[in-house]
């Protein structure tokens, strides 16, 4: 094998990053956000570069924030809708990856099977970013951690209590939170725990950083939490289970009673879209602790840091965006 060939970095999972890289991305994201709010001017960190965005599921935030992130970095994004490509049906995932890698400098993919992200990464020859798979939503967690960092200060030692399904969003929070030295508790109904493999990886990160992770069915684990987080009870692809899940998950609703158990100035987060009246009440979502729209905005800035780094526009060690 030619040792001069550089293997591209990917973000299929937050476990692909070291704790230092995750924290470095958050710092760069803060700098890029600050720069954008002061100057409202596109940078040229990725000028001439393009991002192919492949969607097999719907999206508002991921599509818009990635597209505008590329624009603000001086590059270009191309949207491929769920109806267009027929990933793995019209054409194999590997061949789609080989073709897109010839056109685009970066690929972002939103898929059902996590194996499709891995197959794209194996064959594209360019960096591949997981824009949500059934297993993980790493870009979401980067934005979430950025929001906590901005609003509450340094992450190490903060307690984030996620209440609901042990799903893709919960998995990313476990990994990212542990990488940043946080305590992450996943409070779930019986039978909806996060994957044991993700708990194991998160535990290994926590051992490096002084963080801690827990999966429990007990709401008391939210007592005194600095951050309360929830997500939909039925994820994309689980629509047929929605009615059955509603009864099981209702005791785990993020409502005022739960906010009252957390720290007085706790942050309330939700990745959105929200099903108001199900996993979160209007009172809490629109209440004084809610940061959900700042969190949605932060997808843009966190992803600019990620794209600039994976696209070769900057390095994280002593990163400068100026
Ligand atoms: N949070 C999130 O990923 O939103 P979209 O599904 O709208 O992209
Ligand atoms: N868990 C949700 C997240 C949506 C952003 C889903 O996968 O549908």
- Domain range list for the chain: 14-137+299-312, 138-295
Architecture per CATH, domain 138-295, reads as 3-Layer(aba) Sandwich (3.40)
**Mean pLDDT within 312-316:** 87
* Residue-level pLDDT at 321: 57
d(CA 112, CA 301): 25
Q: Which residue's alpha carbon is nearest to atom 3 within ligand 1?
A: 62
Q: Kindly tell me if the per-residue pLDDT of 8 is higher than 90.
A: no
Judge whether 76 counts as a catalytic residue. no
pLDDT digits (tens, 9 = 90+) for 118-162: 999 999 999 999 999 999 999 999 999 999 999 999 999 999 999
Catalytic residue flag (residue 134): no
User: What stretch of H or E contains 274?
Assistant: none
Catalytic site residue 140? yes
Taking all residues of the chain, what is their mean pLDDT, rounded to a whole number? Answer: 96
* CB of 133 sitting under 6 A from ligand 2: no
SS3 letters for 34-50? Answer: HHHHHHCCCCCCCCCCE
Matching fold, domains 14-137+299-312 and 138-295: yes
Q: pLDDT tens, 193-251?
A: 999 999 999 999 999 999 999 999 999 999 999 999 999 999 999 999 999 999 999 99
Q: Which of 56, 58, 62, 64 maximizes ligand 1 atoms within 8 Å of its Cβ, making it the mutation to test the pocket?
A: 62
Fold of domain 14-137+299-312: Rossmann fold (3.40.50)
Closest CA to 155 of 194, 184, 187, 198: 184
> What is the average per-residue pLDDT within 57-81?
98
Q: Is 264 helix (H, G, I), strand (E, B) or coil?
A: coil
Alpha carbons within 13 A on the beta-carbon side of 78 = 14
Q: For residue 91, what pLDDT is reported? A: 96
Atom of ligand 1 nearest to the CA of 139: 3
Choose one of 235, 245, 280, 295 to mutate for the ligand 2 pocket test, by most ligand atoms within 8 angstroms of C-beta: 235
The answer to pTM > 0.85 is yes
């Amino acid at each position: 094998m030619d040792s001069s060939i550089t293997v591209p970095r990917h973000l299929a999972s937050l476990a692909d990053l070291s704790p230092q890289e995750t924290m470095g991305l958050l710092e760069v994201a803060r700098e890029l956000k600050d720069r954008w709010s002061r100057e409202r001017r596109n940078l040229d960190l990725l000028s001439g570069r393009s991002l192919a965005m492949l969607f097999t599921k719907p999206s508002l935030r991921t599509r818009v924030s990635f597209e505008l992130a590329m624009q603000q970095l001086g590059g270009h994004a191309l949207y491929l809708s769920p109806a267009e490509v027929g990933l793995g049906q019209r054409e194999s995932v590997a061949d789609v990856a080989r073709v897109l890698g010839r056109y685009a400098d970066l690929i972002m993919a939103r898929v059902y099977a996590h194996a499709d992200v891995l197959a794209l990464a194996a064959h594209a020859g360019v960096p591949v970013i997981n824009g949500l798979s059934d297993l993980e939503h790493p870009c979401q967690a980067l934005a979430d951690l950025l929001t906590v960092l901005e609003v509450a200060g340094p992450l190490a030692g903060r307690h984030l209590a996620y209440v609901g399904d042990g799903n893709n969003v919960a998995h990313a929070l476990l990994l990212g939170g542990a990488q940043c030295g946080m305590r992450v508790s996943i409070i779930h109904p019986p039978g909806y725990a996060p994957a044991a493999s993700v708990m194991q990886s998160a535990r290994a990160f926590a051992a490096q950083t002084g963080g801690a992770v827990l999966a429990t069915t007990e709401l008391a684990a939210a007592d005194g939490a600095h951050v309360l987080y929830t997500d939909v009870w039925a994820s994309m692809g689980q629509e047929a289970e929605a009615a059955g899940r509603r009864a099981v998950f209702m005791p785990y609703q993020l409502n005022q009673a739960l906010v009252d158990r957390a720290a007085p100035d706790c942050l309330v987060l939700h990745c959105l879209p929200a099903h108001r009246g199900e996993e979160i009440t209007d009172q809490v979502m629109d209440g004084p602790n809610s940061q959900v729209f700042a969190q949605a905005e932060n997808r843009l800035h966190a992803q600019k840091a990620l794209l600039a780094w994976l696209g070769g526009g900057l390095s994280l060690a002593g990163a400068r965006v100026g």
